[in-house]
Amino acid sequence: MTRLHLIFTALAAIFTILLTPMAMATDAKATAWVNVRSGPGTGYGVVDTMAPGEVGNMTECRSNGWCYIQRSGPDGWVSSSYLTAAEPESSDPNCRVRLVIGPGGPRFVISCDDGGSGVDVVVPGGGLAPNRVCFFDGANYSGARFCRPVGLYNAMPAGFNNKVTSVRLHGAAKVRICEFTNMGPFCRTMSASDNSLGSMLNNRVSSFRVFTGSLPPMKQACLFDGNNFTGQHLCLRPGTHPLPAAAQNRASSVRLHAGAKIRLSKSPVYGVGGAHLLTSSTPHLPAAWNNQTRSVRVE
């Protein structure tokens, strides 16, 4: 063999190594006493047994659910039904550990049940998204649910439009929920979980935005059904708006943002019978207008 041939042979071997996908290994823990077999299936002989809590290095998994484990005892194949992530699992009752078999090798990820919309709330690398919001169709965080990380969602996932009753916030997440798609005008910003949205937005949410920190200032007026900006509320962007039925004749205080002004009308058709102008936030509406508003114009 010539020297040149040897060089080309060595280079070819190097390129083969560089171009071959590297399988990633991950630690796996046995959840019960489980047999370690010589091949990927019950038809192969037993070479050893893994004890509950014993950790091994999972290097390969087959589509039939059998994974190859390297360990202090004899290495071999173990059914993934008896394996879980070696790291502590999430304490969130809505989340689970899931085995993913991909081109980069097997790995465990923590994912949250999203109520069937087909998107798990996980961050790259398999961890649970720390800042997320979960929506439930029942009070007290019950019933069908889905969760979403930080982002803008101009429509609800299939089956959840106008069906949200309670909202749970995780980590530093906050959420702005709106009655219409594309963040339509009747909105509410939440910085804490709420086990019952109340009549103004219960079963009326069609879009939302999950965020941390604070959103950019938005010209809007927020109507509250309690004095001093307390109780249930909804916020409206510039424009003329008839109030939703659940919010009519309930406004007792009004908070204005980013230079907004608002004109209150006692008629469901704005302007009929006159309007009352507010140019600053008002913690107590005058007696003649308290619990009297049915439509508004935000400017």
What whole-number distance in Å separates Cα of residue 249 and Cα of residue 243? Answer: 9
Say if residue 1's pLDDT is above 70.
no
Rounded average pLDDT over 151-169: 91
194-214: pLDDT as tens digits: 999 988 889 999 999 999 998
How would residue 84 be classed by pLDDT, with cut points 50, 70 and 90? confident
Q: Give the lowest-confidence range in 51-55, 87-91, 189-193.
A: 87-91
Say if residue 117's pLDDT is above 60.
no
Go through 46-79 and write b for each residue having 16 or more CB atoms within 10 A of its CB, e for each that does not: eebebeeebbbebbbbeeeebbbbebeeebbbbb
What whole-number distance in Å separates Cα of residue 208 and Cα of residue 173? Answer: 12
- Averaged pLDDT of the chain: 82
- What is the set of domains in the chain, with CATH numbers? 3-87 (2.30.30.40), 113-215 (2.60.20.10), 217-299 (2.60.20.10)
Q: Give the lowest-confidence range in 16-30, 137-151, 159-173, 278-292.
A: 16-30
The pLDDT of residue 10 is: 44
Strands ordered across the beta sheet of 151-153: 151-153, 207-211, 174-178, 187-190, 230-236, 220-226, 253-257
